[in-house]
Amino acid sequence: MAIFSLAFKSLLNRKFTFLITLFSIAISVALILGVQTLKDETKTSFMKSISGTDLIVGARGASSQLLLSSVFHIGNTTNTIKYDSYKEISQLPVVEWAVPISLGDSHKGYTVMATELSFFDHFSYANKQSLSVQSGEISDDMFAVIIGSDVAKKLNYKVGDNVVMTHGGGEIDGHDHDNIPYFISAILTSSFTAIDQTLIISLEAMEAMHTEHNDFHSALPSEQSTRTDTQQDDGHKHEQHDHDAHNNHDTHNDHAAHNDHDDHDDHDEHAAHNDHDDHNDHDAHDEHAAHNEHNEHNDHDAHNDHNDHDAHNDHAAHNDHNDHDAHHDHHDHADHADHAHQHNDTPEQRIARLLQIKPENINAVFIGLTSRQAVLGVQNYVNNYKNEPLTAIMPAVALQELWAFFAIAEVALDIVTVFVVLVGLLGMLSIILMSLNERRREMAILRSVGARPGHIFALIIGEAAAVCFSGIVMGIALLYGLLFALQAPLANHFGFYLDINFLNLNDLWVLATIQISALIIAIIPGVLIYKTSLSDGMNIKF
Amino acid sequence: MIKINDLCFSWKTTPVINISNLHIQTGKHLFIEGPSGSGKSTLLSLLAGVLTPNSGGIEVLKQPLTSLSSSQKDSFRADHIGFIFQQFNLIPYLSVIDNITLPCSFSTIRKQKAITRSGDLKSEAVRLLKALGLTGEDIFQRNVNELSVGQQQRVAAARAMLGSPEIIIADEPTSALDSAHRDAFISTLFNECDKENITLIFVSHDSSLKKHFNHHINLGAINNIKQEQQ
């Protein structure tokens, strides 16, 4: 014990070299622990990207590719599956929920993901946390877009702003879907997943952007329409009504066409509209696109019999209308002259609202099952799906597999940090070695008062142990200082949430290894001074 | 108390010491005179058990050193012998008090003696310092490097005396002091050694110091290896 107190006092006497050695060890310790922490946290954050989803279904291919594209929105999204397949799979009795997603467009480099509103009910990450809204409200409007927190922050978007999507990844200019603008209805809170860098739209809107509806333009009574026909079907009148009402800032009641509107509502409500022949009779002379569209509309009515879809569509239109009015109220009054019609639907949007076409193809389906035991069965069913080649992956398993790719990088990092620690310890060795010669007198004095050569050896080892131990303690302090300092900036600028935990068992092993290595390395000067003190004895050589 | 018989020691192949017979009795102040290179330091190392003779026997306090292992010799030295060197006797990173009490880290016997005498180690150190003419609390707090050479030598003497070892070996302790300080140092050293009944072996090349001692040995005379032979 006396020797260790001596060693400690001896170190204090050489504060400067002691501190330098201390810092080099502290920095290397902080680095090795920091790299471990970052590795762990990266892995955790990676593994937290998705949870609560039992299966992801996509086109047949590598599971990592499907995972990357569906969860991380990285890479190839050209492989699609049929919407009908999704419908069929979602109707399996063990499927509790199924949410289709479709990718492929972007906005200023950020992924645009089309899905259904139920996505927000079912998608979860980390410990089954759901996505939450930071501002605005998730709107069921067809052209509402919900944006991730990073998108909002980096592009400085607010709720109510208008955005336009770009076809593909944005590599080629001039592929903006500027005929279909979106308004931001909600900004999500940070989830530290790919969703933060994503804009979420409806499947119908995605389809609308990618379908050429030129044929239907003539069906609209808009300015560019060349149609002279005055006979229009009710649906179109309704649209016209909306449009006009906007342009004039009139109330519905004042408008002459309002009666038509009511008529239309009546039609929908009692499904008289399905009295299709009637219309056809009316429109008998009307042999152009409007007719097609009308048919389309009727189709919808037909399968709305069971879910009141038409009424819903009307509601949607209405909502939109109200929404627009509201926007006009607090938004556009000031610069009314410039873009009074900013929030009016474009013709393409109006067509899309009427058509409500679901896409034929989607990229992936997230599936939740009623019981975990069903996973393998459903996976098997999907993998052997008869109508088209599909793959079903279990996200947790696929994440593990994908992470295994990074193992080599982990090893490389480990090697580098081990060498950094080694350099720190070698620095300590050189400083101890350099001090030996000037300390021969000290050793001779110690020998004269009865110190054994073993004591002298222990003194050197003790010094190394003390330096290394202080270095480790300081390194830990440095690490936690850095972690606390970097936590907020990392989350803000890189979307990486660093969870600060106490040192785990692995870290303690690393630290123990460093401490033991220091002791082993200190054997070199220890043996040297042992030999010197044996031959020097109490003779002090100058 | 110290008996040397037919002692031979060589550094590698060069013979340094060859003493046929030397007896030193308890309580004496012995002056060993010898010019530089006459093997003074080697003799002291042999007495301290740091060096092992090639042949012959050394008996200290009736204990034949040759029968002890090297670590037993280290313990024996710690328990029974105090040293004062020429200069730079003190460990620079220890305080005055810590320097004085240093032998107690290696010898429980001396630690017990010191505690029995003054209650605790620090009081004993202070008592010895005062006896050696170093007073004032500020000295105890000072860094040893800030002390004058004379003060340093007195601190070294206090360390050698702490816990009353039987023997104090002083190797040219006064060579760094001027003559006034030298005489004062020697007389205080004598006083304290008499009080504690410590045998003092004082080694120097300076024969002018001989007058202070009632016993003296010329190493050149008893060492059969002559300077010319080396």
Per-residue confidence band for A1, with pLDDT thresholds at 50, 70 and 90: low
DSSP state of A332: I
Cβ of A455 within 8 Å of Cβ of B50? The answer is no
Contacts of A452 in chain B (CB under 8 A): 70-71, 74-75
Q: Which of A163-177, A195-209, A244-258, A485-499 has the lowest mean pLDDT?
A: A244-258
Cα–Cα distance measured from residue A66 to residue A93, given in angstroms and rounded to the nearest whole number: 24
**What is the DSSP secondary-structure string of B211-226?**
GG-SEEEEHHHHBSS-
Q: Are the CB atoms for A515 and A468 separated by under 8 Å?
A: yes
Per-residue confidence band for B1, with pLDDT thresholds at 50, 70 and 90: confident
Q: Does A448 touch chain B (CB under 8 A)?
A: yes
**Residue type for A78, please?**
T
Residue A172 pLDDT exceeds 70:
no
At A497-537, the pLDDT tens digits run: 788 888 889 899 999 999 999 999 999 999 988 888 877 77
Nearest-10 crossing angle of helices A234-248, A289-304: 100
Residue A39 pLDDT exceeds 60:
yes
Q: Are the CB atoms for B227 and B35 separated by under 8 Å?
A: yes
Q: For residue A13, what is the nearest residue in chain B, using CA coordinates?
A: B93
Residue A44 pLDDT exceeds 80:
yes
Tell me what the mean pLDDT of segment B12-38 comes to: 80
Identify the three-state secondary structure at position A415. Answer: helix
Opening angle at CA A154, ends A150 and A155, nearest 5: 115
Tell me what the mean pLDDT of segment A209-214 comes to: 68
Which residues does residue A369 pair with via DSSP β-bridges, in sequence order? A95
Cα–Cα distance measured from residue A195 to residue A71, given in angstroms and rounded to the nearest whole number: 8
Which residues does residue A130 pair with via DSSP β-bridges, in sequence order? A124
Cα–Cα distance measured from residue B99 to residue A52, given in angstroms and rounded to the nearest whole number: 70
Mean pLDDT, chain A, whole residue set: 76
More confident residue, A272 or B43: B43
Per-residue confidence band for A221, with pLDDT thresholds at 50, 70 and 90: low
Cβ of A445 within 8 Å of Cβ of B106? The answer is no
Backbone angles phi, psi at B30, to 5 degrees: -105, 130
Per-residue confidence band for A212, with pLDDT thresholds at 50, 70 and 90: low
Per-residue confidence band for A216, with pLDDT thresholds at 50, 70 and 90: low
B2-229: which CATH topology?
A: Rossmann fold (3.40.50)
* b/e sequence A18-34, b meaning 16+ C-beta within 10 Å: beebbbbbbbbbbbbbb
Cα–Cα distance measured from residue B47 to residue A223, given in angstroms and rounded to the nearest whole number: 120
Cβ of B74 within 8 Å of Cβ of A450? The answer is yes
More confident residue, A379 or B197: A379
CA dihedral (B11, B14, B17, B18) in degrees, to 10, reads 130
pLDDT at A489: 87
Q: For residue B159, what is the nearest residue in chain A, using CA coordinates?
A: A449
Q: Does A537 touch chain B (CB under 8 A)?
A: yes
More confident residue, A100 or A247: A100
Q: Does A214 touch chain B (CB under 8 A)?
A: no
Which residues does residue B143 pair with via DSSP β-bridges, in sequence order? B95
Per-residue confidence band for A327, with pLDDT thresholds at 50, 70 and 90: very low
Q: Which helix (H) or strand (E) holds B14?
A: strand B14-24
Nearest-10 crossing angle of helices A2-13, A453-494: 60
pLDDT at B164: 85
* b/e sequence A517-537, b meaning 16+ C-beta within 10 Å: bbeebbeebbebbbebbeebb
More confident residue, B35 or A427: A427
Contacts of B78 in chain A (CB under 8 A): 449-451
Tell me what the mean pLDDT of segment A214-236 comes to: 47
Cα–Cα distance measured from residue A83 to residue A112, given in angstroms and rounded to the nearest whole number: 18
pLDDT at A250: 41
pLDDT at A220: 55
Contacts of B103 in chain A (CB under 8 A): 449-450
Residue A245 pLDDT exceeds 60:
no
More confident residue, A428 or A259: A428
Measured between CB atoms, which of B45, B90, B91 is closest to A537?
B45
Residue A428 pLDDT exceeds 50:
yes
Per-residue confidence band for A217, with pLDDT thresholds at 50, 70 and 90: low
pLDDT at A475: 95
pLDDT at A214: 53
Cα–Cα distance measured from residue A314 to residue A320, given in angstroms and rounded to the nearest whole number: 10
Residue A437 pLDDT exceeds 90:
no
At A358-403, the pLDDT tens digits run: 888 899 999 999 988 889 999 999 999 998 999 999 998 999 888 8
Instruction: Give the closest residue to B129 by CA, choosing from B150, B94, B157.
Output: B157
**Token pair listed for A73:** 């929105």
* b/e sequence A93-104, b meaning 16+ C-beta within 10 Å: eebebbbbbbbb
Per-residue confidence band for B228, with pLDDT thresholds at 50, 70 and 90: very low
Q: Does A321 touch chain B (CB under 8 A)?
A: no
Contacts of A540 in chain B (CB under 8 A): 85, 88
Cβ of A540 within 8 Å of Cβ of B70? The answer is no
pLDDT at A63: 86
pLDDT at A450: 81
* b/e sequence A130-151, b meaning 16+ C-beta within 10 Å: ebeeeebebbebbbbbbbbbbb
pLDDT at A540: 62
Contacts of A16 in chain B (CB under 8 A): none
At A274-317, the pLDDT tens digits run: 444 444 444 444 444 444 444 444 444 444 444 444 444 444 44
Starting at the earlier edge strand, list the strands of the sheet with B81-84: B81-84, B167-171, B199-204, B29-33, B215-218
Q: Does A451 touch chain B (CB under 8 A)?
A: yes
pLDDT at A273: 44
At B143-185, the pLDDT tens digits run: 788 888 888 888 888 898 888 888 888 888 888 778 877 888 8
Cβ of B48 within 8 Å of Cβ of A448? The answer is yes
Tell me what the mean pLDDT of segment A81-106 comes to: 91
Identify the three-state secondary structure at position B187. Answer: helix
Tell me what the mean pLDDT of segment A455-469 comes to: 89
pLDDT at A292: 44
